[in-house]
A and B are shown apart, each in its own frame.
Chain A
Amino acid sequence: MVRAKLSLWAAAASPHCARWWGFVCLWRSPIAIACALLAMVFRLAPSVQAAVVGSLQGRPDDIALVLAAVLLLAALRWTSVAPAPVLAGRAAALPQLGPIQALLDTHLELDNEIDKKLQEVVVDTESSAIAIIGQVRQLHDSSNTLAQYLDKTNPQANTLGEDIVASMTYLVQIGAFIEELPAKLTRDLNAVQGVVQELTELSSLVGSVRAISMQSHLLSINAAIEGSRAGPGGAAFRVVAEEMRLLASNSSNVALKIGKGLERARAVVEAGMATRVAESSKAQSDVSQAVVSIRKLQENFEDMSQYFKTRFAVITQHNQNLTADIAAVLGHIQYQDVVKQCIDRMRNTTSQRNALLEEALAQMKQDGSEAAQLPQLLAQILANFVEEEQKHKHSARHDEQASGELKFELF
């Protein structure tokens, strides 16, 4: 009986063990047969096993009872193969479907909340993107206004520059003229000196004229005296002599007047010249000063013109770059659409998955067939998702390989 007990415990521990033990014992005793049969019993549910073992423990000698129980249960088992384990399984699992259903319901609720949020996110980012676009456009137009203004006023600036250059030429001419003045003054003085010289020569001429008329006067007096000596034949001679005397007298008076006039002119000119000579040396230094100032003014204008031209060029270029850079932002904002589409695909996929889970659970409540296919169907959803995402590789990524991807193609 110890062997029986031992074999019972072995079978309880492991049906496999029991089978072997059963075969070994079969050739020894009928008790062994009983044990082998009991091994089959242990293919039944654990609760039934426990019941059999318990009953056996209580009455170790009642083999017949044991055998009867074994045969009854074996019969039960073989007449209802399929449902029995399932009934047993279901009896065990039915209480467990309840929590799974509850879990799935909560899961669906959570996903629903998340989905709503994702939708909100898409809408929010779209509003933001559009607001940003509006702002960027304003910035661009502002910047562009400056560019257009600079462009429009540039010809004016050029004309102004040209005018300044022209004015500078006048200024230079004035400078040249002023520079010439001292020389001119000297030439004038020389000319005046020449006049004085002429006047002096004229005065001496006048002296000659007076001398000549004096001579004539004397000659005429002589002629008159000779004429009176000559008698009546000399009357004509006396008349001519008288005429000559009058002429000489007149000439002398006129010559005197001219002489006086010339003298006065010479005095005036000489007096004037004296002051001029005094002024001209002061003028000389003034002139050199003026010429230097004009030169400096000219240089200042040139420098100022160059300075403003340079600043203008820098501002224009910088603004052009700024305008272009601002416009470039518009392209990047398109990310919002790419992201939105990605989120939509994800929402669609989770929706498919959730539908699958719901259906699977519903099927499981009726029969267990759907449960087996669930992993496969879900795997299909996953494969579809991965395949679809492969199609949407875009160049918004910042890694090295993205730059080599084809961004556009002309057919």
Chain B
Amino acid sequence: MAKTIMIVDDSSTMLMSLRNSLEIAGYNVLSANDGQPALDQLKAGAKPDLIITDINMPNMGGIEFIGKARAVTGFRFTPILVLTTESQQAKRDDAKKLGATGWLVKPVSGADLTKIIKQVLPGA
């Protein structure tokens, strides 16, 4: 059964690029352009096996989103990867504390992305 991945980013370019890369690799894709709509989808019953999120978003940023997503039932252990332009240690530690599973720096190639996903999603 194909796994589902949710991508959260305010940039249409990022959403399109990731969506296509992931679909080509055989995943189903859900997307949202901000933390709040993403959270709404999770609460409404969406069941992604993995979430990839940006940090800097206009309304609800990635750090806040991760904290809130973890609180939703069923997503305590879902792997969440952060994909952003920043590479500062402080921000990384913040994200890790809130429960992020990993940190990726933009831009990320399709090959690297699938490699990492295979590491965090067993049987993907």
Contacts and interface: CB of A to CB of B under 8 A. Distances in A.
Q: Are A and B in contact, CB atoms below 8 Å, in the complex? A: yes
A129 B17 CA distance: 9
Candidate in B56, B86, B101, B102 with the most chain A CB atoms within 10 angstroms:
B86
Interface string B101-119: 1111111111111001001
B92 to A, nearest CB: 7
A391 B108 contact: no
9 contacts: A133-B17, A331-B108, A333-B107, A334-B14, A335-B107, A391-B87, A405-B87, A409-B102, A411-B102
B110 A330 contact: yes
Contact of A133 (B13, B85, B105): B13
Contacts of B14: 334, 337
Given A133-B17, A334-B17, A328 B108 contact: no
Given A394-B105, A406-B105, A408-B112, A133 B20 contact: yes
B1 interface: no
A130 B14 CA distance: 9
Contacts of B86: 391-392
Given A338-B106, A409-B102, A391 B91 contact: yes
B73 interface: no
A121 to B, nearest CB: 14
Contacts of A332: 107, 109
Given A133-B20, A340-B11, A331 B104 contact: no
B117 to A, nearest CB: 11
A131 B105 CA distance: 24
Contacts of A331: 17, 21, 107-113
B11 A407 contact: no
The A interface, classified by DSSP as helix, strand, loop or mixed, is helix
B96 interface: yes
Interface in A211-267: none
A337 B106 contact: yes
Contact of B88 (A134, A337, A338, A391): A391
A411 B86 CA distance: 16
Contact of B104 (A144, A392, A408): A408
A341 B110 contact: no
Interface string A128-145: 011001101100100010
Given A130-B16, A136-B20, A408 B111 contact: no
Given A327-B21, A331-B107, A408-B105, A394 B116 contact: no
Nearest to B88: A391
Interface in B54-94: 56, 85-88, 91-92
A410 interface: yes
Interface in A386-401: 390-396
Given A334-B13, A335-B107, A341 B85 contact: yes
B24 interface: yes
Contacts of B24: 137, 140, 144, 327, 330
Given A140-B24, A391-B86, A410 B110 contact: no
A328 B109 contact: yes
A137 B108 contact: no
A332 B18 CA distance: 11
B13 A328 contact: no
Contact of A330 (B21, B88, B92): B21
The 3 closest A-B pairs by CB, nearest first: A334-B107, A331-B109, A337-B11
B56 A393 contact: no
B107 A126 contact: no
Contact of B13 (A336, A390, A406): A336
B12 to A, nearest CB: 6
Contacts of A395: 105, 107
B45 to A, nearest CB: 28
B88 A407 contact: no
A405 B100 CA distance: 20
Contacts of B116: 408, 410
Interface in A246-302: none
Nearest to B22: A330
Contacts of A334: 13-14, 17, 106-108
A335 to B, nearest CB: 6
B88 A410 contact: no
Contact of B87 (A136, A327, A328, A406): A406
Given A337-B106, A396-B107, A410-B102, A330 B87 contact: no
A144 B25 CA distance: 12
Given A331-B107, A395-B107, A408-B104, 9 more contacts: A327-B21, A328-B110, A330-B21, A332-B107, A335-B107, A338-B106, A408-B103, A408-B108, A410-B101
